[in-house]
Amino acid sequence: QVQLVESGGGLVQPGGSLRLSCAASGFTLDAYAIGWFRQAPGKERERVSWISSSRASTYYADSVKGRFTMSRDNAKNTVHLQMNSLKPEDTAVYYCAADSSFFKMLFGRGAYWGQGTQVTVSS
């Protein structure tokens, strides 16, 4: 069974940090492009960070650049999103997605999606 599961969300104060994980089973992540997306109530889903399959190039949305870091751990079939200097506007459900096509993943059409993990930044 193919499965993608996010973890690591929670409640943190502004300026705090969280590390999200996206673990895959049933397929090997290193052959896929991976993306992190987030969605808050009443807002459109937005891309947060994404990474290519072949060259492991990493990209970030302007809103998180310099604060978030995405990485692959191929040995554990997992990707991570280190989130530092969190702001209230980072509050959202965070999803990971994967697809063999970089562009399908990028435009929200990834073959595999996790269930999401809630991140809440509040004092």
Q: Are 26 and 2 in contact (CB under 8 A)?
A: yes
Query: Taken in order 28, 33, 38, 44, is the CA torsion positive or negative?
Result: negative
pLDDT tens for 27-46 read 888 889 999 999 999 999 99
- Averaged pLDDT of the chain: 94
pLDDT over 70, % of the chain? 98
> Which two tokens mark 89?
């506007």
